Structure 1
Amino acid sequence: MKTRFFIHVLSIFLLAFGTLFLSCSKDGGSSTTTPPTDETGKPITITELSLASSYLIDNSKTFTIGGKGFEKNDVILLKKRNSSQQYIFTIKQLKDNEIVVETKDNIPADTYEIYIQRDNKSKLLGETTITIVFNANIPDKQGMNIKGSVYSQGKGVPNVVVSDGETVTTTDENGIYYLSSNKTNGFVFVSIPSNYEVAVTNSIPQFYKPISSSKEKIDLVDFELIPANNENHVVAFLADMHIANRNDDIAQFRNGFVNDITTLANQVKGQNKKFYAITVGDQTWDQYWYSNNFGLREFKNLIKDFNFPIFHAMGNHDNDPYVANDFLSEKPFRENFGPTYYSFNLGKVHYIVLDNIIYINTGGGLGIIGSRNYNATLTQNQIDWLKADLATITDKSTPIVVVMHIPLHNVPNVNNVYSSRLTNYNAFMSALSGFENVKVVSGHTHYNYRILPNNSTNTNVTEYNIAAICATWWWTGRSGYADNHISKDGSPGGYGVMENSGKDLRFYYKSIGFDKNYQFRAYDLNKVHITADAFAPNANATYKPQVAEYAGEYAVVNDKNQILINVWGYQPNWKITVKENGNNLTVSRVNKKDPLHIISYELKRLNANAAPTSDFVTNNTSHLFLVTASSPTSTIEITVEDEYGNKYQETMTRPKTFNTAMK
């Protein structure tokens, strides 16, 4: 009697459990319930089972399982491997020796355990990998080991550029492409066409997909495009963030940069324009990857919540410092951000991201950080790929924007004379010949300068070398220091911004925490006198005597009534006008050091009885301008006009205070 009662209660429990399970997991939906495994009573028997190790699911949204013994009301459950996530689907078609399962639209590509459910029983059939494809029936082609579709809204998109980083091809009228690939780089990527976007995961555009390493295997790789009107768009260029979990950098990054660019992005979106960002390398700092447990993976997590797409370029400090091989040292970058060089289109502008660092890292090895040395060079593979990519653009008036970490040119002098920096400069310039409007955006230096086309070696390229988001490696804003954010040329920490309407591109430098119209800083040199008493009162007997060395000319009183102006975005086609009592003063371009940076970094380090790091100290810059007034107390009117006709002005009431809080 007790035994029959127990069995009766157990049957009610199992029936209720099965009903609850099915009611919580409707057809096509997801559930976190563990599949029931009761095999009491009549077992589920499937004979001649044929389950593929992988399924390609296309627009039909179905896949087939071979076998006998299936019943019409059976339910097929797919449970993600190593996850509680699972999906339940019905049988669309029942045949004697197979079933057709309808997956609906909501199952992501992944590896799954497949169960059959019948009444209150469940049986594991096996494991398979689900891959979502647009067209599973693309025929193979002799010699081609990558194939796929580029599609949007259920239709193939023609004339889209697809590449593996070596070979470049385009889709046919049905959106189908083929590649014969060496599979060297591990990716195939789409050059996103104008007025489309791709899905974004954790702020990273998914324009690339991994491929197998086997040349014999044929990879089927699709790309889905999302229509987006980006004819009018804004791009922010983010150079040298150097996040390393030191110097309060993460807090400064969040409280300063993140707030600043989020505000800008929201303003742009409020104008019905698209907003994007491209990093210009050195997202991290290889020297501290292991000691501070902060590398590219941690950086990726830091930026995952931005509400706009961020493309990424490689910097020399984004290589693995334990690896002394250029390609292998880039592995963490590829794992987190994809290809190290690629292209895409926004509106009428063609963007190209390059990796112009060959990382040598002499002495590097497992557990050993090498010298982290490198060459500023584009590999021949990139040069060849660049030519092939540009060959797909027939309209030579198309604006080309190239992003690469190390500058193409060295800093110009006061006469605007400059030299090339890239070792294979001529090959790069040759690849871009014929295009009328080329912009290069670079970083690396942590200061600002601009190079305009000339009539000799450079006839079509403008370069914007931009100062760093981290400014002086986050030192001046560190707790207890200057409480400002300034780069070693005196530029505020910031980033480049390009506003694009059709083929009209307009660039400016955006200082973090300031309005876009903040484009220069002016000093009353009568008040610029750098002494230990004023700026390093805590320096001891070792460091106090070094103040004059770092202060240079500013260690001496200047009573010449001079005004020094730092115009960080200066180009030779800008105009600088200074007036005293309505009269124009002579403006001379000079090569000097910015005094604010000296008191914000060098003097703060000396005040802490520490030696300033040589790479971080103030550098001479040629975007400084000097004028001499007739009086120490006259009011000075300063106007800086850029190439677009925008005017930036300051009325300087003298004497003007000199301290770390000045603007």
Structure 2
Amino acid sequence: MKSKFPYTAFFACATMLFSSACSDSDEYFGAPAIKQPAPKEVYIEGTVKTDTGTPLADVVVSDGYNLTTTDVNGKYIMKSEVALGYIFVSTPDGYEPAAFLDNNRPKFWQQVRKTNGKSVDFILRKIADNNPLGIIAIADPQISNRCGDVELLKNMIVPDVNRAIDSLKAKGTSPIVITLGDLICDVFVADGYGYTLDLFNKDFKVNAPLYHTMGNHDYDPFMTGDIPGLSNWLYINGPSYYSFNRGGAHFIVVNNMVYQEGTALKADQLDWIAKDLATIKDKTAPLFITMHGIFLTYPEAEGVNVSKVYRFDEGGPQLGALLSEFTNVKVFSGHSHKSHFQHTPEGNIREYNYAGANGGWWPAGFKPHMPNLPVCFDGAPWGFGIWDFASGTPHHIYKGFQLPTDFQIRAYDLNQVSIDDQDLSTAYLPGNSANKDVVLANIWAYEPGCTVKMYENGRELTVKRVKTQDPYLIQKYLVPIKKEYTKWNSGMNPEETAHLFRAQASTADSPVTIEFTDLSGRKFTTVLNRPSSLE
């Protein structure tokens, strides 16, 4: 099907780079009027300098397959077939590109259709401050111009993110924003809703440097296949995988989605990742990997071992092996629309699989479409992650939209929970004696090493981590929706999660205090005054 996106025609030409020219007037590596195959060996050269003209040495330059570094004069030369249509620079620590797009996106790449001997040069500028790093990580906005979600982006998501940015700046950090894929939704683009990547970039007016990760719904729906499907992203957002340095940390943004196939890291990208990792001298320094597809297997209930470490087989274990010599790896991901924080058995890799910024998105499957739910299908609120390096040690917190940062627990009195719908859940059927005087707490930011305690009248209760469904999501949202729609969308079924904690109280009306301590030692407390209905 013919693409409606401007870059698609170019990229189709680029994929035929070595067989023929694209048109009589737009040749690759040849005179405009002469059709000829590109030479088998093509070299790209250029310079990397500051905005004051100072050459920068040891800067990594890449085409997505090969990479090289600049010499003392800021010059580089690299064998490159420019197969992906761009050259990019991995900005060194303390610098950023002099050019920005939409006032917040660092322009670290150049689209290269032909060089004809022209130098591909990059100009960087010193970052104005030398403050510690701050990070906002946000997954799956998936804006589709449906049920007011564009207005939600402008009036709720962006203002809340900017308030978090201001808070990080007030602490003395220099924050950046990283998206984790599915900025838009290809399904609704194909259906004519008209909300494309360029519109998202104009509407996502965050007040900090913005780096994008590609998701499966960011592909061009009018193209077939992974490489052609990348066309619009490459034209608007540049490389779908790249790296940069900032605040003493190295960032590698990868694309582990294969369009119309699933989650994987193909050999070419793994080879590039290996080359990029080889440029890192300090294996103990913070290393952030961002991707859309989930990297590690979901956590299980207490006492249950995960069946395998890596969630995807093609490329997952290989990436894990490449990261084995690094001791301080954080992986940010999205895609699941749920909150799952996990680590490898060795402990050197921690994944933060963030709940969707779009919340419970699946009402989109109903006709007529419904607005998104403010909770995800594990009961976590829609929101984003915040990383604060002000003290030198990273502190992480998950913030729900329009919620205070200390809102980290939602507690339930199971005496007051009754869900008489076995299609949705069998855990909370009326008269279930197993739930008598039980307190359940959903703690979506829990990760291995955190602690959860509960107290009844000062007496500590035995707390068990369980894997089940969130009753608030079911009773408040899903039951009413299911009554409204005669045809149920299975994507709306609640999912089991292992960030739920259960304790048996001694009576039905005693208050229970829930205390969650995160890896930074911060304590978050809530008191469940029972009896307490779901609100």
The alignment status of 1:263 with 2:154, answered yes or no, reads no
Who is 1:383 aligned against? Answer: 270
Distance 2:372 2:244 in 1: 39
Q: Secondary structure at the match of 2:380?
A: coil
1:76-115 to structure 2, matched below 5 A, reads none
Matched to 1:307, the amino acid is N
1:542-581 to structure 2, matched below 5 A, reads 547-558=421-432, 560-581=436-457
* TM superposition shift of 1:256: 2.2
Q: Secondary structure at the match of 1:193?
A: coil
1:627 aligns with one of 503, 507, 526:
503
Matched to 2:448, the amino acid is P
The alignment status of 1:412 with 2:288, answered yes or no, reads no
Q: Secondary structure at the match of 1:555?
A: coil
Distance 1:302 1:653 in 2: 42
Distance 1:574 1:618 in 2: 25
* TM superposition shift of 1:375: 2.7
Who is 2:142 aligned against? Answer: 242
Who is 2:17 aligned against? Answer: none
Query: Which runs of 5 or more structure 1 residues have no equivalent in the other structure?
Result: 1-141, 360-372, 532-546
Distance 1:625 1:586 in 2: 10
Distance 2:137 2:507 in 1: 42
1:161 aligns with one of 46, 60, 63:
60
1:446 aligns with one of 327, 337, 345:
337
Who is 1:33 aligned against? Answer: none
* TM superposition shift of 1:572: 2.3
Contact 1:528 1:557 in 2 (8 A): no
1:386-401 to structure 2, matched below 5 A, reads 386-401=273-288
1:208 aligns with one of 89, 109, 113:
109
Who is 1:251 aligned against? Answer: 151
The alignment status of 1:331 with 2:231, answered yes or no, reads yes
Q: Secondary structure at the match of 1:320?
A: coil
Distance 1:436 1:158 in 2: 27
Q: Secondary structure at the match of 2:332?
A: strand
* TM superposition shift of 1:399: 1.2
Q: Secondary structure at the match of 1:626?
A: strand
Q: Deviations over 1:208-249 (max 9, x none)?
A: 1111246x6444322222333354121111111111111321
Who is 2:360 aligned against? Answer: 472
Aligned residues: 484
2:459 aligns with one of 579, 583, 590:
583
1:461 aligns with one of 329, 349, 355:
349
* TM superposition shift of 1:501: 4.6
Contact 2:270 2:315 in 1 (8 A): no
Contact 1:594 1:620 in 2 (8 A): yes
Who is 1:514 aligned against? Answer: 403
1:275 aligns with one of 175, 185, 189:
175
The alignment status of 1:298 with 2:199, answered yes or no, reads yes
* TM superposition shift of 1:441: 0.8
Matched to 2:199, the amino acid is E
The alignment status of 1:609 with 2:481, answered yes or no, reads no
Considering only CA atoms, is the larger Rg found in Structure 1 or Structure 2? 1
TM-score (norm 2): 0.85
Distance 1:561 1:502 in 2: 42
Matched to 1:466, the amino acid is Y
Distance 1:483 1:447 in 2: 14
The alpha-carbon distance between structure 1 residues 161 and 503, as it changes in their structure 2 partners (threshold 3 A), is farther
Q: Secondary structure at the match of 1:487?
A: coil
The alpha-carbon distance between structure 1 residues 143 and 607, as it changes in their structure 2 partners (threshold 3 A), is closer
Q: Secondary structure at the match of 2:190?
A: coil
* TM superposition shift of 1:498: 1.7
Who is 2:9 aligned against? Answer: none
Q: Deviations over 1:410-450 (max 9, x none)?
A: 21211363322222222212222211111111111111111
* TM superposition shift of 1:504: 2.8
1:191 aligns with one of 61, 65, 90:
90
Distance 1:351 1:147 in 2: 24
2:527 aligns with one of 617, 640, 651:
651
* TM superposition shift of 1:207: 1.0
Distance 2:212 2:444 in 1: 25
Contact 1:151 1:175 in 2 (8 A): no
Distance 2:181 2:457 in 1: 47
Contact 2:197 2:218 in 1 (8 A): yes
Who is 1:103 aligned against? Answer: none
Distance 1:480 1:637 in 2: 40
The alpha-carbon distance between structure 1 residues 512 and 205, as it changes in their structure 2 partners (threshold 3 A), is same
Who is 2:43 aligned against? Answer: 144
Who is 1:39 aligned against? Answer: none
How well do the aligned residues superpose, as a CA RMSD in angstroms? Answer: 2.3
Matched to 1:288, the amino acid is F
Contact 2:337 2:354 in 1 (8 A): yes
* TM superposition shift of 1:569: 1.1
Who is 2:252 aligned against? Answer: 352
* TM superposition shift of 1:172: 1.5
The alpha-carbon distance between structure 1 residues 267 and 186, as it changes in their structure 2 partners (threshold 3 A), is same
Matched to 2:80, the amino acid is S
Distance 2:480 2:400 in 1: 22
Distance 2:320 2:70 in 1: 28
* TM superposition shift of 1:607: 3.2
Q: Secondary structure at the match of 1:334?
A: helix
Who is 1:594 aligned against? Answer: 470
Who is 1:310 aligned against? Answer: 210
Kindly, what percent of the aligned residue pairs are identical? 31
Name whichever structure is richer in strand by fraction.
1
Distance 2:492 2:72 in 1: 55
Distance 2:236 2:304 in 1: 39
Contact 1:149 1:156 in 2 (8 A): yes
Q: Secondary structure at the match of 2:394?
A: strand
The alpha-carbon distance between structure 1 residues 230 and 473, as it changes in their structure 2 partners (threshold 3 A), is farther
The alignment status of 1:421 with 2:321, answered yes or no, reads no
Who is 1:111 aligned against? Answer: none
The alignment status of 1:435 with 2:331, answered yes or no, reads no
Distance 1:598 1:313 in 2: 31
Distance 1:329 1:480 in 2: 26
Q: Secondary structure at the match of 1:553?
A: coil
Contact 2:173 2:389 in 1 (8 A): no
Who is 1:116 aligned against? Answer: none
Structure with greater contact order relative to length (CA < 8 Å, sep ≥ 6): 2
Distance 2:377 2:95 in 1: 39
